[in-house]
Amino acid sequence: MSVTTPSSQSPADVLVVGAGLIGLATAWRAARAGLSVTVVAESFGGPCASTVAAGMLTPATEASFGEEELMRLCVRSRDLFPGFVAELEQDGGSPAGYRAEGTLQVAFDADDMARLGHLGDLRTRLGLGTERLTGRECRRLEPMLAPSVRGGYLAAGDHSVDPRALLQALRAAAERCGAVGVRDRVRRLVVDGDGRARGVALDSGGEIAAGQVVLAAGVDTPSIAGIPEGVVPPLRPVKGQLLRLRTPEGEPPPVTRTVRGLVKGSPVYLVPRETGEIVLGATQEEQGFDTRLTAGGLWEVLRDAHELVPGVSELEVAETCVGLRPGSPDNEPLLGPTAVPGLQLAAGHFRHGVLLAPVTGDAMARALTTGALPDYARRFAATRSTGGPGAAGADGGPTEGGEQ
């Protein structure tokens, strides 16, 4: 996306604050729906949760108890991905790094296998097909798995994408659909005397006016100055530390599809890229806005990855990285209109920002063009805990007929 200065801007229909996957998916889908869109961010493509993420599209192997409704949204989004990527690559002309090899979930010991088996029942309830495999069958699919791996599940429908390529594709597609980027820091949200959001004031001194403002700045969203109190729930940063390993030129990668594993109860994943890079992740640490890489965090990820695929220890470390997942109070995303007219949210995607990008883009484009979220997204209304338009409370809030 080409980046311009605020002074050259006439008011847009929509101003999106944030240029991560959620902000750009919203911008692209809104622009595709015919709205004029401006995106403002301090950085386009710089470090953020989206550029750190491994890019797993794996609801079947990520399903956990108590998250059934969220998982249904994740499955919807996963199923949108092939079409989303096809349109994106057509609009932007840039590859999105989508891979459809399926995901293998493996267990290190008998207790881990029992835990995975327990989750198998949940997956069946959610209609997520997985195939139970013996250790030998797992190794037939991924020969570099450790001999000790007890068994696992193959989720043929769980895929992956390269979030950095996806971001680039979204920037290109949004631009081709007319969206404009502004590189600046948002100083505050501008709310007029009638209590309506009118745009943002920038650090550089200018202002950008827009008919509607979407806050999609990840874990920084609630700290944007000028948001009336109680309108945006707090988001907690959940730190993830990851490593990127490089397979030597001409050698086969140690895994050919995403491998997720449980090692003595500790989850780990290995996600291969077309380039031969393998992403290992990730810690899940709740300790505020701490972005330090720690020896212990990286060791934990390497230790567990090595237990499952010993060959990873031979690979060169290409990069270590850390990101902050934006966790909402109930771990579910916050979407659509807020109690402030003209202000919408697309935030709080926690562990699922990459996976939920397509469904978020669609739901937000609908909310921006009609004023209401589609029915499938109403549970995730930004107002569910704060009240106001769109709240999915007893009276239901605004809705659209006919769609599930």
* Residues lying near ligand GLY in the complex (CB under 6 A): 56, 240, 281-282, 325, 351
Residue among 282 and 309 whose Cβ is closer to ligand GLY: 282
What long-range pairs does 4-8 form, CB within 8 A, spacing at least 24?
4/180, 4/181, 4/182, 5/182, 5/206, 6/40, 6/182, 6/184, 6/202, 6/204, 6/206, 6/207, 6/208, 7/206
Strands 37-41 and 180-183: parallel
Provide, rounded to whole angstroms, the least separation between the CB of residue 237 and ligand GLY: 12
- Nearer to ligand GLY among residue 240 and residue 390 (C-beta): 240
Give the shortest CB-260-to-ligand GLY separation in angstroms: 9
Q: Which helix (H) or strand (E) holds 122?
A: helix 110-125
* Residue with smaller CB distance to ligand GLY, 48 or 56: 56
Q: Which is nearer to ligand GLY, 281 or 388 (CB)?
A: 281
CB of 281 to ligand GLY, least distance (A): 5
The residue at minimum Cβ distance from ligand GLY is 351
- Strands 343-347, 334-337: pairing kind: antiparallel
Closest contact distance (angstroms) between CB of 326 and ligand GLY is: 11
Of 273 and 325, which CB lies nearer to ligand GLY in the complex structure? Answer: 325
Smallest gap from Cβ 70 to ligand GLY, in A, equals 12
Q: 56 or 368: whose CB is closer to ligand GLY?
A: 56
Residue among 58 and 247 whose Cβ is closer to ligand GLY: 58
Could you count the other beta carbons within 10 Å of the beta carbon of residue 132? 13
**Shortest reach from residue 334's CB to ligand GLY, in Å:** 17
Nearer to ligand GLY, 240 or 348 (CB): 240
Closer CB to ligand GLY, 99 or 325, in the complex: 325
- Pick 191 or 321: Cβ nearer ligand GLY: 321
Output the smallest distance, CB 228 to ligand GLY, in A: 31
CA atoms of 269 and 246, how far apart (whole Å): 16
Using CA atoms, how far apart are residues 81 and 213, in angstroms rounded to an integer?
A: 26
DSSP class per residue in 35-101 = --EEEEES-SSSSSHHHH---EE-HHHH--TT-HHHHHHHHHHHHHHHHHHHHHHHHH-S---EE-S
Residues whose CB is less than 8 angstroms from the CB of residue 162 and which lie 6 or more positions away in sequence, other chains included: 55, 96, 97, 273, 274
Distance in Å, CB of 238 to ligand GLY, minimum: 8
CA–CA gap between residue 333 and residue 351 (Å, rounded):
10
> In the complex, what is the shortest distance from the CB of residue 247 to ligand GLY, in angstroms, rounded to a whole number?
22
Q: C-alpha 326: how far from its chain's center? A: 10
Q: Which of 316, 326, 162, 297 is nearest to 238 (CA)?
A: 326
Question: Are the beta carbons of 214 and 346 closer than 8 angstroms?
Answer: yes
Classify 120 as helix, strand or coil.
Answer: helix
Residue 105 CB, shortest distance to ligand GLY, in Å, is 13
Structural contact between residues 56 and 260, judged by C-beta atoms closer than 8 angstroms: yes
Residue 167: in which H helix or E strand, if any?
helix 163-176
Which one-letter amino acid corresponds to residue 235?
L
